[in-house]
């Protein structure tokens, strides 16, 4: 056998002569999600969003487990739309393996219709010129994904009017 592991000593010398070696720390966590996240993630697996309602009527997605004001467990739920408005975005020019898409994309905070908080996810567009704060986006779900956030693949623009006018913010 002459594969790489036979010739790679597993270490290297830095320019100053110090030993260096690659080291990966990885933890294969498996988390119980509890009743609140469980209901939210079950909704995602079914291609829909559900949200909790706070004592002041605020609608939280992802769901808040406890009321931010009173500390009471929240058990009132509402269905909300799989469409919403981009509240903020930033461009990812070189995605890492850990990120949802394997080509450049936009990170987005999306306020889904009917929600009072914004959901963090990504938007699949070819370039930053296709992004604009306030643009309308729709969720794209994945059938048969492992339980968790992976059931939501990304958001995508609704319609063809998503272009950026390139306004000068300086």
Judged by CB under 8 A, the stretch of 69-77, 107-115, 155-163 that binds another protein is: 107-115
Judged by CB under 8 A, the stretch of 73-81, 94-102, 155-163 that binds another protein is: 94-102
For residues 109 and 86, give the distance between their C-alpha atoms in angstroms, rounded to a whole number. 6
Please report whether residue 3 would count as binding another protein according to CB under 8 A.
Answer: no
| Residues 29-48 interacting with another protein (rule: CB under 8 A) | 29-33, 37-42, 45-46
Q: Are 97 and 104 in contact (CB under 8 A)?
A: no
Distances (CA, A) of 33 to 47, 62, 72, 76: 18, 13, 18, 18
Query: For residue 116, what are the contacts with CB-CB under 8 A and spacing of at least 6?
Result: 58, 59, 60
Please report whether residue 81 would count as binding another protein according to CB under 8 A.
Answer: no
Q: Are 134 and 80 in contact (CB under 8 A)?
A: no
- Interface residue with another protein, options 119, 123, 135, 162 (CB under 8 A): 119
Please report whether residue 4 would count as binding another protein according to CB under 8 A.
Answer: no
For residue 144, is it left (φ>0), alpha (ψ between -120 and 50) or beta?
Answer: left
Please report whether residue 107 would count as binding another protein according to CB under 8 A.
Answer: yes
Q: How far is the CB of 159 from another protein (least distance, A)?
A: 21
For residues 60 and 146, give the distance between their C-alpha atoms in angstroms, rounded to a whole number. 24
Residues that bind another protein (CB under 8 A): 9-11, 14, 16-33, 37-42, 45-46, 60, 62, 64, 68, 87-93, 96, 98-100, 107, 109, 111, 117-122, 128, 131, 133, 146-150, 169-170
């Amino acid at each position: 056998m002459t594969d790489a592991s036979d010739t790679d000593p597993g270490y290297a010398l830095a320019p100053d002569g110090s030993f260096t070696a690659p080291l990966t720390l990885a933890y294969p966590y498996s988390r119980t999600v509890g009743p609140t996240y469980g209901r939210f993630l079950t909704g995602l697996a079914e291609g829909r969003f559900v949200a909790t309602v706070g004592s002041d009527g605020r609608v939280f997605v992802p769901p808040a487990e406890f009321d931010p004001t009173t500390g009471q467990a929240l058990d009132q739920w509402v269905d909300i739309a799989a469409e919403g408005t981009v509240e903020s975005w930033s461009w990812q020019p070189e995605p890492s393996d850990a990120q949802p898409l394997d080509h450049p994309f936009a990170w987005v905070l999306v306020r889904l219709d009917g929600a009072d908080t914004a959901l963090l996810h990504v938007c699949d567009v070819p370039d930053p010129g296709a992004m604009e704060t306030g643009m309308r986006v729709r969720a794209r779900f994945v059938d048969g994904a492992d339980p968790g956030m992976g059931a939501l693949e990304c958001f995508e623009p609704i319609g063809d009017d998503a272009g950026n006018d390139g306004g000068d913010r300086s």
